[in-house]
């Protein structure tokens, strides 16, 4: 099955680099390109891509606003990968809260960006455990619209433990080892949390753990 990709970046050079690589891949197809957030929203609705590679910083409507509109208005919203410079962009946390499934660093190898598109298209989140820990430490104490104290009703005590560990950046295997349970059991708990909390992916579970007060910046 071909993954339909929409590129949204105001830098033609960035889009051109991705376009050159994706054009030669049989499982990826660029269905459109946008230079602004507003254009990305329009094309996402018209073209119904599977994945939108979205720059955070664009003129007018930025990538965060565009991601929020796409996530809230589309019947079956595409997965969104944000393009950012991790070391100096403090909007990463906000973009994830807006509905993005992960983020890409602009200077990473093109082969890694392509792999990331495939990962997200498959329904997974592009947040490695080590990056999750850094994400929380660097950004979680400064989200402009965070609401600590979020209720997580209907979650069992064991699921609460699992959610806490997800929020700390542990993988399913690490969670299993920490709680002395099997990896399959850990995976089942994570799947149930996704359903109970209405989260699309692991990234949103991290956010839920933070907003529920289960983890805090710098926790490990």
CB 58 within 8 A of CB 14: no
Nearest C-alpha neighbor of 39 from the set 4, 70, 2, 17: 70
Percent pLDDT > 90 in the chain is: 39
Q: Which pLDDT score, from 0 to 100, does residue 133 have? A: 54
pLDDT, tens digit, 9 for 90 and up, residues 121-173: 887 766 544 455 556 555 455 554 444 456 788 899 999 999 999 888 788 88
Average pLDDT value for the chain: 82
DSSP-assigned letter for residue 36? S
Task: Pull the structure tokens for residue 17.
Answer: 């680099």
- Given a cut of 90, whether residue 49 has pLDDT beyond it is yes
Task: Give the domains, in start order, of the chain with CATH numbers.
Answer: 3-126 (3.40.50.2300), 157-211 (1.10.10.10)
Tell me the range of 156-160, 198-202, 212-216 where mean pLDDT is highest: 156-160
Q: Which pLDDT score, from 0 to 100, does residue 219 have? A: 56
Percent pLDDT > 70 in the chain is: 81
The mean per-residue pLDDT over the stretch 72-91 comes to 75
Q: Which pLDDT score, from 0 to 100, does residue 90 have? A: 61
Nearest C-alpha neighbor of 133 from the set 213, 55, 210: 210
How far CA 8 is from CA of 23, 43, 53, 54, 197, in Å, comes to 16, 10, 6, 5, 30
Q: Checking phi first, is residue 181 left (phi over 0); if not, alpha (psi -120 to 50) or beta? A: beta
CB 135 within 8 A of CB 206: yes
- Given a cut of 80, whether residue 216 has pLDDT beyond it is no
Orientation angle between helical segments 157-167 and 202-211, nearest 10 degrees: 100
- The number of residues making up the chain comes to 220
Nearest C-alpha neighbor of 120 from the set 109, 128, 129: 128
Angle subtended at Cα 106 by Cα 211 and Cα 30, rounded to the nearest 5 degrees: 100
């Amino acid at each position: 099955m071909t993954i339909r990709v929409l590129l949204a970046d105001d830098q033609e050079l960035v889009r051109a680099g991705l376009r050159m690589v994706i054009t030669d891949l049989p499982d990826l197809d660029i269905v459109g390109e946008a230079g602004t957030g507003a254009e990305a929203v329009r094309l996402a609705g018209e073209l119904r891509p599977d994945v939108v590679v979205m720059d955070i910083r664009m003129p007018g409507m930025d990538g965060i606003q565009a991601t929020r509109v796409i996530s809230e208005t589309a019947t079956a919203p595409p997965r969104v990968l944000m393009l950012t410079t991790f070391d100096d962009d403090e909007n990463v946390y906000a973009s994830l809260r807006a509905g993005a499934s992960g983020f890409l660093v602009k200077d990473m190898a093109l082969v890694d960006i392509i792999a990331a598109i495939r990962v997200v298209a498959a329904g997974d989140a592009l947040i490695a455990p080590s990056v999750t820990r850094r994400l929380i430490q660097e950004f979680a104490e400064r989200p402009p619209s965070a609401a600590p104290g979020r209720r997580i009703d209907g979650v069992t005590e064991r699921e609460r433990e699992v959610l806490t560990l997800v929020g700390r950046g542990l993988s399913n295997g690490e969670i299993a080892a920490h709680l002395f349970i099997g990896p399959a059991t850990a995976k089942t708990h994570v799947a149930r949390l996704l359903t109970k909390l209405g989260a699309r992916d692991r990234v949103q579970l991290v956010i839920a753990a933070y907003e529920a007060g289960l983890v805090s910046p710098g926790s490990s």
